[in-house]
Amino acid sequence: MTDQTVTRIQVGGTAGHDPYEVLVGRQLLGELPALVGPKAKRVAVLHPEALEGTGEALRQDLADQGYEAVAIQVPNAEEAKTVEVAAYCWKALGQTGFTRTDVIIGVGGGATTDLAGFVAATWLRGVRWIAVPTTVLAMVDAAVGGKTGINTAEGKNLVGAFHPPAGVLCDLAALDSLGVHDYVSGMAEIIKAGFIADPAILDLVESDPEGARTPSGPHTAELIERSIRVKAEVVSNDLKESGLREILNYGHTLAHAIEKNERYKWRHGAAVSVGMVFAAELGRLAGRLDDATADRHRSVLESVGLPLTYRGDQWPKLLETMKVDKKSRGDLLRFIVLDGLAKPTVLEGPDPAVLLAAYGEVSA
């Protein structure tokens, strides 16, 4: 991919919300003023502590374009997703005189873009925002689809709003400095997209697992673009998770329980990897999924260095956590499983013995 190549993927326009574009390429910051638009007078650049330099450079760039630009620094990763940090951002916007035509830009990983979107959704009942994701996970998952939110002591993303961005800039150059564990963590969401919708992703990973572990791999841009297209198509048809969008939660029911159990010290992708192996076993044990596709989960995830197991003694705690998962309906546990490759479906209220047996397959 040359520096001049920009791929534009449209999201929305079919489910009653305004369409927006996800741009994928390199050196994309020149696209920002067009997204901010002529009506905005003020721009707030919300960034994590770790990206102070990036946030300041972006703020300066916007100031040079004539905007009143401020930078709002928030804690790194999941620590940013609290009501206290959101309140700090609201205070900063209030002190800046932020109006309904002004724009928030969230620069960083998924936690930062989740927070930025939530702050934008709640300030003056909704102002425009732009996502500038800097991790694989944020590019293919968090920044696309308009789900915004913060965590509470009771769980992840239990407080939030559907508030799609005005645009998303996925500058692949940001991935060059990403640590290998963070990069590989994002691969879990890419592999998920392969299993639920686009098997070509799995073929690309299997053709060069070592290359899939690094941003300099030959298929990086294609893997990211394909994953974004999967998500874009789903959320364009179901913004508010009334049906189809649930398939994006493949592997996530157990994953969120593991994350909570680990007090969010585990990377999201690592938890999703274990969650997908569990979902594959659940599908197999429920008579839905063939052995070859179930086994393929393990081989593909392991080939890029993602974990396949979790502590066996934690099952009772994980089960309790899953019962308050957002996908549950009343007391009925719901899981996304596969009827076959790229054939996701819902499994409601599975037999507790089947759940336990499936967990036995991922127990370390």
CATH code of the domain containing 131 = 3.40.50.1970
Q: Are residues 173 and 272 in the same domain?
A: no
Q: Is residue 216 part of a domain?
A: no
pLDDT at residue 328 in the model: 62
Instruction: Give 3-55 as a DSSP string.
Output: TT-EEEEEE-SSSSS--EEEEEESS-GGGHHHHH-SS--EEEEEEEGGGHHHH
pLDDT band at 209 (very low <50, low <70, confident <90, very high): very high
pTM of the model: 0.91
Q: Is residue 342 part of a domain?
A: yes
pLDDT band at 242 (very low <50, low <70, confident <90, very high): low
pLDDT band at 55 (very low <50, low <70, confident <90, very high): very high
Instruction: Give residue 171's domain range.
Output: 6-177
Mean pLDDT of 178-196: 96
How does the average pLDDT of the chain come out, rounded?
A: 92
- Name the burial class of residue 187, with classes exposed (0-12), middle (13-18) and buried (19+) by CB atoms within 10 angstroms of its CB: buried
- Indicate which residue of 226, 252, 260, 298 is catalytic: 252
pLDDT at residue 236 in the model: 81
Q: Is 7 annotated as a binding residue?
A: no
pLDDT at residue 1 in the model: 39
Q: Which residues pair with 130 in a beta bridge?
A: 105, 167
Q: Is 147 annotated as a binding residue?
A: yes
Per-residue pLDDT tens over the stretch 272-316: 999 999 999 999 999 999 999 999 999 999 999 999 999 999 999
Active site residue 249: yes
pLDDT at residue 364 in the model: 81
Which of the given ranges, 27-36, 46-55, 145-154, 317-326, has the highest pLDDT on average?
46-55
pLDDT band at 146 (very low <50, low <70, confident <90, very high): confident
CATH code of the domain containing 256 = 1.20.1090.10
- Indicate which residue of 189, 225, 246, 259 is catalytic: 189
**Rounded Cα distance, 123 and 100, in Å:** 8
Q: Is 268 annotated as a binding residue?
A: yes
- Indicate which residue of 226, 249, 259, 284 is catalytic: 249
Q: Is residue 194 part of a domain?
A: no
Active site residue 260: no
Q: Is 233 annotated as a binding residue?
A: no
Q: Is 81 annotated as a binding residue?
A: no
From edge to edge, which strands make up the β-sheet containing 167-171? Answer: 6-11, 20-25, 167-171, 128-133, 103-108, 42-48, 68-74
- Residue 331's CB is within 10 A of a number of other CB atoms, namely 7
Mean pLDDT of 100-104: 97
pLDDT at 318 over 60: yes
Active site residue 41: no
pLDDT at residue 145 in the model: 81
Per-residue pLDDT tens over the stretch 158-180: 899 999 999 999 999 999 999 99
Q: Is 52 annotated as a binding residue?
A: no
Domain count, the chain: 2
Q: Is residue 182 part of a domain?
A: no
Active site residue 297: no
Percentage of residues in the chain having pLDDT higher than 70: 95
- Indicate which residue of 231, 267, 284, 297 is catalytic: 231
Q: Are residues 116 and 253 in the same domain?
A: no
Q: What does each C-alpha distance from 314 to 40, 45, 175, 253, 288 come to in angstroms?
A: 50, 40, 34, 15, 26
Active site residue 256: yes
- Indicate which residue of 47, 256, 297, 334 is catalytic: 256
Q: Is residue 83 part of a domain?
A: yes
CA angle 29, 188, 250 (to 5 degrees): 115
> Which residue would you say has higher pLDDT here, 187 or 154?
187
Do the beta carbons of residue 232 and residue 144 sit within 8 Å?
yes
Active site residue 76: no
Task: Report residue 351 as tokens.
Answer: 């037999």
